[in-house]
A and B are shown apart, each in its own frame.
Chain A
Amino acid sequence: WILFQVHCHLIFLFFSASSQINFVLLISRQGKVRLTKWYSPYTQKERTKVIRELSGLILTRGPKLCNFVEWRGYKVVYRRYASLYFCMCIDADDNELEVLEIIHHFVEILDRYFGSVCELDLIFNFHKAYYVLDEILISGELQESSKKNVARLIAAQDSLVEAAKEEAGSISNIIAQATK
């Protein structure tokens, strides 16, 4: 009996072909949140609860265990880099091994951008870390497989911001402001 039910259920499982990441979470070893991005609807309250639950689950896992936790019917793929845990939540049927590569892709890009990235970089420049993430994922899907392209796009946008700052700080602008 059980085998028959399992049989039907398993056939159904094959039909799934999604890859969406539901949310991204970066937490420190002490459980401090360094970055969160939610691609599925979660209310503020729900988000706090999720973070607390997952922190408890992941921070207590031993170092030799596999990088996947089953949680609420989803899978959370995580990997530790120095003092930070990078976590991405996916559906139970998605390709966990690929998500490990996506995490690594993100980390390498951050590393190049900040020049040997450390936790402090992500704390004091958290908004920049988000800009980087937004060039890698949209709607929980991968957007660019070339690290060089991501770096180029971020640099171009950073230049636009620098240029605007310079223009605002230029003397003519100050005079214009003062004489308004």
Chain B
Amino acid sequence: RRRDSPPPPPQDSVERIVEDAAMDLSLNPFSSGTRLRDMIRAIRASKTAAEERAVVRRECAAIRAAISDNDQDYRHRNMAKLMFIHMLGYPTHFGQMECLKLIAASGFPEKRIGYLGLTLLLDERQEVLMLVTNSLKQDLNHSNQFIVGLALCALGNICSAEMARDLAPEVERLLQTRDPNTKKKAALCSIRIVRKVPDLAENFMGSAASLLKEKHHGVLISVVQLCTELCKASREALEYLRKHSVEGLVRILRDVSNSSYAPEYDIAGITDPFLHIRVLRLMRTLGQGDADCSEHVNDILAQVATKTESNKNAGNAILYECVETIMGIEATSGLRVLAINILGRFLSNRDNNIRYVALNMLMKAMAVDTLAVQRHRVTILECVKDADVSIRKRALELVYLLVNDTNVKPLTKELVDYLEVSDDDFKEDLTAKICSIVEKFSQDKLWYLDQMFKVLTLTGNFVKDDVWHALIVLISNAPELQGYSVRSLYKALQASGTQESLVRVAVWCIGEYGEMLVNNISMLDVEEPITGNRI
């Protein structure tokens, strides 16, 4: 029926405006349908889920009809509608073939929305995707560079292993093209190909290494990332790149680090932090376990570590990556100390993102240089008391790793003191950690008992059963401390009897050793006698 009707009037004509107005007033089921904008408005205006479903159902019906009629006029609009409906969470598989038809059309606008539809409505597991391979191949060879770009982007976002294999030669070829926009997309598309089919890594390593001479930043960041991916995929590629790219990388980093103000790439006073970071990352991959490489990059790492401004996030992002790299390669001890000091400074930064990141990194750094991390113990302890719960948790884990024979007593004292004032939702974690620490260092039984009694008094309700069972076992095996225990627990009970575990342990002790309590038997030097007749 629609084929017999006249072509739609042009956008700005009076007929069209009138038609649209008629549409707004009454959704005529035989008309060409609503504009995208109007559908979105209708959906937003829905007051209930049922209302929204009704709008969506109506639109889907119109779109289905248009598809089965092979309607050319509103294909573009219908695809946009389908994508919107899909984003709301409704099923849209009836529209998948439309993507293919749009991609196969000759015009740029159709391909643009077709490829977008493809990457949104489908995922790599759908078999329908295979049907696009031929269109992709044609578009990868198109004379219009933007169409090539669309194909590379789609392939890079969604291709399956099979498609990757099929189209790898086209993508390889495009790495050599002159247009930087195409080159950078080809490089990133290659990353996906190599992730899907690691065997192909060796095909790309030559081009990747030579592309490091490029000047265009977009190409550089993509190619550097490609090199990193190649190293992960293939031992041969790693060795090849170690031999052929280290000097080039040092030069790239040095140039961008020393570059004067470049407005196009400037972020917070630094030229292209993204390029800095990617190069640092590749250096880490190349320098890991390789003394030669590590030596080559030593100086530039020191330069970046000392020169980079640390007052904005961009600079800190670079420093963070730099520290990761220093920790990951065979760095000199001087460089390592530099890295840990950066982390120490991070810990005192007002920005809690930076503190959080520093704590994470310090945990990793424990494996490399425990002593250096120990030096920051005081600041780390401060972070246990931070306002941000993510930071408190991280700091507590790190403190736990830092505990050793020398520092266990002062550290525990700090933690127990904090237990008194900490938030309720943190008390459980803190209690568990303290109990764990104390138990590990329980050779000094008197100290162990004192800590446990304090914890039971403050947060006994969070003390796990197996923990206070172990406490009782220790007391029963230590006759010289039984008198002390029962007296301490009695005093604690008098001061505060709200914690259930404290009451349990205390009552058990009084039951077992009551006479020691009453008669002050086997008192220790540190004790004062219990006077009064409250017993």
A-B contact pairs, 16 of them (CB 8 A): A14-B364, A36-B87, A66-B388, A68-B356, A95-B320, A95-B324, A100-B353, A139-B195, A141-B225, A143-B218, A145-B274, A147-B264, A160-B146, A161-B108, A161-B112, A169-B10
Any A CB within 8 A of the CB of B191: yes
Complex CA distance for A164 and B111, rounded to whole angstroms: 12
Any A CB within 8 A of the CB of B59: no
- Whether B123 contacts A144 by the Cβ 8 Å rule is no
Any B CB within 8 A of the CB of A121: no
- Whether B123 contacts A42 by the Cβ 8 Å rule is yes
Among A14, A37, A143, A145, point to the contact of B185 (Cβ < 8 A): A143
| Residues in chain A near residue B188, CB distance under 8 A | 138-139, 141, 143
Given A101-B314, A146-B217, the answer on whether A41 and B108 have CB atoms closer than 8 Å is no
Give 1 or 0 for each of A1-31: 1 = CB within 8 Å of chain B CB.
0010011001101110111000000000000
Which residues 7-59 of B have a CB within 8 angstroms of A?
A: 7, 10-11, 36-37, 40, 44
Among B87, B225, B401, point to the contact of A3 (Cβ < 8 A): B401
Which residues 157-178 of A have a CB within 8 angstroms of B?
A: 157, 160-161, 164-165, 169, 174, 177-178
Which residues 109-154 of B have a CB within 8 angstroms of A?
A: 109, 112-113, 116, 119-120, 123-125, 146, 149, 152-153
| Residues in chain B near residue A19, CB distance under 8 A | 225, 228, 278, 281
Which residues 418-473 of B have a CB within 8 angstroms of A?
A: none
| Residues in chain B near residue A39, CB distance under 8 A | 157
Among B91, B232, B389, point to the contact of A65 (Cβ < 8 A): B389
Give 1 or 0 for each of A72-96: 1 = CB within 8 Å of chain B CB.
0000000000000000000000011
Complex CA distance for A123 and B222, rounded to whole angstroms: 30
Given A14-B327, A65-B390, the answer on whether A7 and B83 have CB atoms closer than 8 Å is no
Any A CB within 8 A of the CB of B520: no
Give 1 or 0 for each of B382-413: 1 = CB within 8 Å of chain A CB.
00000111110000000001000000000000
How many whole Å from B309's CB to the nearest CB in chain A? 14
Complex CA distance for A14 and B369, rounded to whole angstroms: 14
Complex CA distance for A69 and B389, rounded to whole angstroms: 11
Among B125, B185, B272, B288, point to the contact of A138 (Cβ < 8 A): B185
Any A CB within 8 A of the CB of B265: yes
- Whether B390 contacts A68 by the Cβ 8 Å rule is yes
Given A126-B87, A139-B191, A169-B10, the answer on whether A145 and B353 have CB atoms closer than 8 Å is no
Complex CA distance for A80 and B274, rounded to whole angstroms: 22
Give 1 or 0 for each of B273-294: 1 = CB within 8 Å of chain A CB.
1110110011011001000000
| Residues in chain A near residue B267, CB distance under 8 A | 101, 105
- Whether B218 contacts A145 by the Cβ 8 Å rule is yes
Measured as residues with beta carbon below 8 angstroms from the partner, the interface class of chain B is 35 or more
Any A CB within 8 A of the CB of B492: no
| Residues in chain B near residue A123, CB distance under 8 A | 40, 44
Output the residue of A48, A97, A124 with the most chain B CB within 10 A: A97
Tally of chain A residues near chain B (CB < 8 A) = 67
| Residues in chain A near residue B356, CB distance under 8 A | 66, 68
- Whether B87 contacts A33 by the Cβ 8 Å rule is yes
| Residues in chain B near residue A143, CB distance under 8 A | 184-185, 188, 218, 221-222
Among A44, A66, A144, A165, point to the contact of B184 (Cβ < 8 A): A144
Any B CB within 8 A of the CB of A38: yes
Any A CB within 8 A of the CB of B374: no
Any A CB within 8 A of the CB of B80: yes
- Whether B116 contacts A134 by the Cβ 8 Å rule is yes
How many whole Å from A76's CB to the nearest CB in chain B? 12
Any A CB within 8 A of the CB of B328: yes
| Residues in chain A near residue B389, CB distance under 8 A | 65
Output the residue of B80, B88, B157, B217 with the most chain A CB within 10 A: B157
- Whether A17 contacts B228 by the Cβ 8 Å rule is yes
Any B CB within 8 A of the CB of A130: yes
Any A CB within 8 A of the CB of B348: no
- Whether B317 contacts A100 by the Cβ 8 Å rule is yes
| Residues in chain A near residue B191, CB distance under 8 A | 139, 141
5 tightest A-B contacts by CB? A10-B367, A97-B317, A138-B188, A138-B156, A144-B218
Output the residue of A34, A124, A142, A153 with the most chain B CB within 10 A: A142
| Residues in chain A near residue B123, CB distance under 8 A | 38, 41-43
Any A CB within 8 A of the CB of B6: yes
- Whether B264 contacts A148 by the Cβ 8 Å rule is yes
Complex CA distance for A21 and B282, rounded to whole angstroms: 17
8 further A-B pairs in the complex, CB-CB below 8 A; given A6-B366, A127-B113: A37-B157, A41-B125, A64-B388, A66-B356, A101-B317, A139-B157, A145-B217, A149-B181
